[in-house]
Amino acid sequence: MASIGEELRRERQRRGLTLEQIEDVLHIKVAYLHALEHDEFSRIPGSVYTKGFIKNYSELLGLDSRRLVDTFKNRMGESLTIPKRRMVSKEQDKNDAFREQELIEAPKQRLTYESRKAKRQKTMMIERFVVGGILLLIILFLGWLFFV
């Protein structure tokens, strides 16, 4: 089984990309990309950054980022388990006792550019209505103050 760096380097070379091209897209220094490809993770300033770099780099190359990050975590001795939350359901069973269910939250989907733009337009429209309502109240108050 190939190491993380070998797999990243092989896929980058297969696609005909240079480290400089990857740097332009991901905004990760060439020195860090070189360290990733040679499994020199100690040259990167922290494991959080390393995991992020591996994830972004592998997603750009079309590799399984979750598997590569889990491989890195395993190599560093980090836990691979997903934390679970215990929640008590409000539904009661036959014995009038509360049942406990283990739930795992699904990962949140990233917003696309179009959905961000639509959300911002909706927010701006609401803001305009609020500002307009406040201005209307100010005008009514001033009218009442000066004409009554």
Would you call 110 helix, strand, or coil by DSSP? coil
Is the CB of residue 58 less than 8 Å from the CB of residue 8? yes
- Residues 8-30 have a mean pLDDT of 93
The CA distance from 126 to 16, in Å, is 48
Q: Can you name the residues that pair with 103 across neighbouring β-strands?
A: 85
Backbone CA torsion sign across 119, 121, 124, 126: negative
pLDDT of residue 91: 55
Would you call 126 helix, strand, or coil by DSSP? helix
pLDDT of residue 40: 93
pLDDT band at 90 (very low <50, low <70, confident <90, very high): low
> How many angstroms separate the most distant Cα atoms in the chain?
86
pLDDT (tens digit per residue) in 61-86: 999 999 999 999 988 887 766 655 55
The CA distance from 113 to 141, in Å, is 42
Would you call 147 helix, strand, or coil by DSSP? helix
pLDDT of residue 94: 45
The CA distance from 52 to 61, in Å, is 14
pLDDT band at 37 (very low <50, low <70, confident <90, very high): very high
pLDDT (tens digit per residue) in 97-146: 444 444 555 556 666 777 888 888 999 999 999 999 999 999 999 999 98
What single-letter amino acid sits at 83?
P
Would you call 62 helix, strand, or coil by DSSP? coil
> Which has more confidence, 136 or 89?
136
